[in-house]
């Protein structure tokens, strides 16, 4: 096995802990226009798939006969398992013979997602790629497969962008501190710096092996040993390796609760509220709500509390209406299958997106201060036939009006046209002493959410 220092030097890093930026990879100040161009594909996508997969998929929430609630990927911590026992017992069992990366890629593309984020390493430290940095990775398991490489190659044949999740917390690595009280191993370090060097070498390895990676989603930054300086150096490192990367705010500390707000110094490109959509969005910043389909990120065999397809479709609509992205999680089984409940829900979202995706992709937040009582609104500015810009409003209707009259927000300007997004049928519109309205058919095109496309003069709401 090559040494850590040799790997860093070979990757062009020199003294990684001193500069974290290879020669010729200095970071230049990004102009607002350059940032907008770099972020455009991610903003336009509005919908992504999170994938939590690893050794924790084997016990699936149960250890030594006891089933633990909550997130299955935290089982090592929840059950207070000796990390060496975790490795000894689970690595020989990790054999995802039913993992079909082409099938996964089809499921994700058909769902309407624009990107995926796969766990390269979660908190238990196990890696899904063949790293030479240690012996704790998928190539040491019975299948001896480069799971990241296989999925990245399959996704590259679709329109979906590839992303990776990487945790700064590592219950397994001997240099990681703070060491858990239930871990019988004595600490080997008094500083986190040796571990930071290890993480940086891993990131160099990942970005060198998989140049198609467009998103890095960091986590575990809340640990007291992960400092702002470590966050800055890590961000500088990965941007030097690939300037076009989109990076979340958890590369550095300071995230406030699970809301995704940063207090003090801001890191990365976007905020990360978790398991919720902020009531008013996060105006003025890029953000993404990540959410599970049931109660666990990793596969939990006993968690059957699945959100309905309707709830997930409407959450996607709500998130887009507030100017954010929706990152929806799947937790594959140990043998490499996406649970059928997840497949069914992604298929339902995909069917809806094939008809209504234009109301989600490439849109901005609603221009109205409050959501209408019947649903949500997304918007975009488009060139008009007379050369003046027009405002395209997607009225996403959850509660279809029984009287055939869809009341429009009071702040909406004069309507130029209205039509159903499903099928494209034109709709009559007008106004009276109760305000503007669109006349809609008796039957909603979609029971979960139907879209009425209205065009007004740009800038007219307000």
- Same domain flag for 102 and 214: yes
Distance CA 361, CA 377 (A): 13
Q: How many domains does the chain have?
A: 2
pLDDT tens digits, 148-170: 999 999 999 999 999 999 999 99
- Same domain flag for 201 and 350: yes
pLDDT of amino acid 23:
36
- Same domain flag for 326 and 397: no
pLDDT of amino acid 385:
78
pLDDT of amino acid 27:
54
| Pairing verdict, β 115-121 and 375-383 | unpaired
Domain membership of residue 154 (yes or no) is: yes
Domain membership of residue 1 (yes or no) is: no
Q: What is the mean pLDDT of residues 169-180?
A: 96
- Same domain flag for 397 and 290: no
Domain membership of residue 18 (yes or no) is: no
- Same domain flag for 400 and 313: no
- Same domain flag for 68 and 141: yes
Which of 184-188, 360-364, 411-415 has the largest mean confidence?
Answer: 360-364
pLDDT band at 13 (very low <50, low <70, confident <90, very high): very low
Q: Which of 359, 386, 409 is the last residue of a domain?
A: 359
pLDDT of amino acid 434:
86
pTM attached to this predicted model: 0.93
Domain membership of residue 13 (yes or no) is: no
pLDDT of amino acid 264:
66
Give the number of other Cβ atoms within 10 Å of residue 37's Cβ: 12
pLDDT of amino acid 60:
98
For 415, the token pair is 């309507």
| Pairing verdict, β 429-432 and 47-51 | unpaired
CATH number at 281 reads: 3.20.20.80
Domain membership of residue 7 (yes or no) is: no
| Pairing verdict, β 62-63 and 435-439 | unpaired
Domain membership of residue 166 (yes or no) is: yes
- Same domain flag for 315 and 448: no
| Residue-range definition of the domain harbouring residue 407 | 375-457
pLDDT tens digits, 19-37: 444 433 445 588 999 999 9
| Pairing verdict, β 161-167 and 325-330 | unpaired
- Same domain flag for 110 and 212: yes
What mean pLDDT value characterizes the chain?
Answer: 92
CATH number at 408 reads: 2.60.40.1180
- Same domain flag for 271 and 162: yes
Domain membership of residue 12 (yes or no) is: no
Residue 174 has pLDDT above 60, yes or no: yes
3-state secondary structure 257-319: CCCCEECCCCCCCEECCECCCCCCCCCCCCEEEEECCCCCCCCCCCCCCCCCHHHHHHHHHHH
- Same domain flag for 443 and 388: yes
- Same domain flag for 284 and 139: yes
Residue 134 has pLDDT above 50, yes or no: yes
Domain membership of residue 20 (yes or no) is: no
- Same domain flag for 264 and 403: no
pLDDT of amino acid 257:
61
Q: Which of 359, 390, 418 is the last residue of a domain?
A: 359
Which distant-in-sequence residues (6+ apart) come within 8 Å of 336 by Cβ? 96, 97, 98, 99, 100
């Amino acid at each position: 096995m090559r040494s850590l220092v040799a790997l860093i030097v070979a990757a062009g890093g020199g003294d990684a802990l001193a500069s974290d930026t290879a020669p010729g990879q200095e970071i230049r100040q990004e102009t607002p226009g350059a940032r907008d161009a770099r972020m455009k594909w991610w903003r336009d996508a509005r919908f992504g798939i999170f994938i939590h997969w690893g050794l924790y998929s084997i016990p699936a929430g149960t250890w030594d006969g006891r089933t633990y609630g909550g997130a299955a990927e935290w089982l090592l911590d929840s059950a207070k398992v000796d990390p060496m026992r975790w490795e000894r017992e689970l690595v020989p069992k990790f054999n995802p013979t039913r993992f079909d990366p082409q099938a996964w890629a089809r499921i994700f593309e058909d769902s309407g997602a624009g990107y995926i984020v796969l766990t390269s390493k979660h908190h238990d430290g196990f890696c899904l790629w063949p790293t030479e940095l240690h012996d704790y990775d998928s190539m040491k398991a019975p299948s001896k497969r480069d799971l990241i490489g296989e999925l990245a190659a399959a996704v590259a044949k679709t329109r979906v962008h590839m992303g990776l999740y990487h945790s700064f917390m590592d219950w397994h690595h001997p240099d990681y501190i703070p060491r858990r009280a239930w871990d019988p191993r004595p600490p080997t370090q008094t500083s986190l710096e040796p571990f930071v060097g290890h993480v940086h070498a891993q990131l160099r390895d990942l970005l060198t092996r998989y140049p198609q990676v467009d998103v890095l989603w960091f986590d575990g930054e809340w640990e007291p040993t992960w400092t702002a300086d470590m966050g800055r150096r890590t961000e500088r490192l990965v941007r030097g390796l690939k300037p076009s990367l989109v990076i979340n705010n958890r590369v550095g500390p300071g995230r406030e609760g699970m809301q995704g707000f940063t207090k003090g110094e801001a890191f990365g490109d976007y905020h990360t509220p978790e398991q919720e959509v902020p009531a008013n969005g996060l105006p003025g910043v890029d953000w993404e709500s990540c959410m599970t389909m049931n109660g666990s990120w990793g596969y939990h065999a006993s968690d059957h509390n699945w959100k309905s397809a309707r709830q997930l479709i409407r959450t996607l609509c709500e998130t887009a209406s507030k100017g954010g992205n929706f990152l929806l999680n799947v937790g594959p089984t140990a043998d490499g299958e996406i649970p059928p409940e997840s497949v069914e829900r992604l298929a339902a979202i995909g069917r809806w997106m094939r008809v209504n995706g234009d109301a989600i992709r490439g849109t901005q937040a609603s221009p109205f201060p409050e959501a209408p009582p019947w649903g949500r609104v997304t918007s975009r500015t488009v060139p008009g036939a007379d050369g003046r810009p027009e405002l395209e409003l997607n009225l996403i209707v959850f509660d279809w009006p029984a009287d055939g009259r869809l009341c429009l927000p009071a702040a909406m300007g004069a309507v130029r046209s209205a039509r159903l997004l499903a099928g494209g049928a034109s709709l009559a519109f007008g106004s009276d002493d109760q305000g503007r309205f669109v006349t809609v058919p008796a039957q909603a095109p979609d029971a979960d959410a139907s879209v009425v496309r209205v065009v007004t003069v740009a800038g007219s709401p307000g």
